[in-house]
Amino acid sequence: MARQSFGQQKLFALVIILFAGLGGILYGYDIGIIAGALIFMKHEIALNVGQVSILIAAVLGGGSIATLISGPLADWLGRRTMLTVSAVVFISGIIVLVSSHSFAGVLTGRLIEGVGVGVITMIVPLYLAESAPASVRGSGVTAFQLFLTLGILVAYLVALLFAHSGNWRGMFLCALVPGALFFIGSLLIIESPRWLFFKDKKEQAIAALQRSRSETEVEHDIYMMTKIDIERKQQNVIGQESLWQKHYLLPFLLAFSIACLTQLTGINVFLQLCTLILQHAGLQSNVVSMLGSVGIGVVNFIVTLIAMLLVDKIGRKPLLIFGASGIVIALFYLGVISWLFSPSLLQGYLTIAGLLLFIASFAIGPGVVVWIAISELMPMPIRSKGMAICLFANCLASTVLASVFLKLTHYIGYTGVFWMCGIFTLLYLAIAIFFLPETKGKSLEEIEQCFRDGVTATPTHTQ
C-alpha cells in the first residue's frame, strides 16, 4: 500500500475519532432522553415508582449484559464487525420502543437499546485505543466522552422542543439519525491494527497503521507489538492468558475499581433523573426543570471539551484527582442543601448550583479518564476480556444504583443518597492519588511493559 502524506494521516486519525464520536452521541442521547420523556410517558402509560426505576435501569441493565459478551465476540469477529452489530441492535430497540403501548413493550425496547449502547461503550474505546496514534490517543478516547455529553445535551434540547406537544415517541425517534450514520460509518472504517497483528495478519496491520502514523511511529508500534508477542511465546502463555497473572492483576484491578467507582459517584442516575430531582427540590414547572437540565447538559459538554484539550497535555492523573475532589465537595454540599431546606425555589436553584459543580467536576476528571484508563491500562492479551468485565461491572453498578435510587430516597432521603455517593467518591480519589500511574503519550505496549517490569511509574519513551 502506498504511503499516505502527513495531511492524509492526520485526516484519517480525525475520521476515526469523529466516527467514535457518533457512538458517544448514541450512548449520551439514550441516557439523556429518558429524563424528559418520562414526564409525558407517565400520562399515556401508567407507571409506578418501581416501574420508573426499572425503565431508567433498563438501558444500563441491557448494557451490562452486552459488555460482558462483547469482549470475546470482539476477539473472534473483530472490532469493526461488532460496531456494525451494535448499530443494528440500537436501531431495532428504538423501533420496538416507539411502537409500544405498554410498560412491557417500552421495557423491551429500552433493554434492546441498552444492549446496543452496551456494545458501543465496550468496543468504541477499545477500537480507539488500538487504532489512534499515541500522541492523540487520550484526546481520541476522550472524544467518545465529549460526544457522549453532546448526545446528552441534544437529548435535553429535543425533550425541551417536544415539551409543549408531549410527544415522547418523537423524542426517541430522533435517535435514528445518528444511529443510521453510525451504521454507515461502521461499514467504511478499517479494522483495528492491533487486532489484525495478534490475528497474525501482520501486513494488514502495517497497512492499517500507515493510514494514521508516520513511518517512525509505525516502526515503533510494530517493534513493540513484536517484542511483547515474542515474550509471550517465550513464556509459553499464548492462549493461556489469565487476569490473575501477576503482571496483569494490578492493571486489571485498577481499571475495575475505576469502572465501578465512576458509576457510584451517581453520574448516570443524576443525568437521567435530573428533571425529577429538580422538581423534588422545588422547581415544579416542567419547562423550568427542563431548562435546568439543559444548563447541566451545556456545562457537561463545555467542560468535557476543555478536558479533551488538556488530557494529552496535563495527563490523566492530575485531571482525575482534580475532578474527583470537586465531586466530593459537590455531593456533600447537595446533601447539606437537601437537609437544611424544604422544597422551594431557593432549594431548587441551590440544587442546580450543586449539580452544575458535580457535572463540571465529573466532566473534567472521571468523565474523560474512565474510558482512557479502562482501555489503556490493560495489556493486549487481556484487553477485550478485561474491558468486558470492567464495563459489565460499570453497567451493573449503575443499574443497581438506578434501580434502588428512588426507593433509597424514601428511606435515607436525598441527603443520605448524596452523602453515600460522596463516600464512594472519596475512595475513588484515594485510588487516583496513590495507585493510578500516568500513561500520557505512551504506546500501549510501553504501558504493558511497565506493568511486566513491576513498575507503575511512567515509562521514559515519549512519542
pLDDT score for 242: 58
Please compute the mean of the pLDDT values over residues 226-250 and round it to a whole number.
66
Side-chain half-sphere CA neighbours of 58 within 13 A? 22
Q: What percent of the chain has pLDDT over 70?
A: 89
Tell me the pLDDT tens digit for each residue of 40-86.
888 888 888 788 878 877 877 788 888 778 878 888 888 899 999 99
Give me the residue label for grid cell 510501553.
Answer: 446
Domains annotated for the chain, with CATH where assigned, are 7-212+224-452 (1.20.1250.20)
Q: Which of 314, 319, 372, 309 is nearest to 134 (CA)?
A: 372
Q: State how far the alpha carbon of 187 is from the alpha carbons of 16, 19, 24, 78, 79, in Å.
A: 12, 11, 17, 13, 12
Instruction: Write out the three cell numbers for 230.
Output: 515474542
Looking at per-residue confidence, does 445 or 364 come out higher?
364
Give me the residue label for grid cell 436553584.
Answer: 349
Tell me the pLDDT tens digit for each residue of 292-346.
778 888 898 999 889 888 888 888 899 999 999 999 999 999 999 999 988 888 9
CB 402 within 8 A of CB 114: no
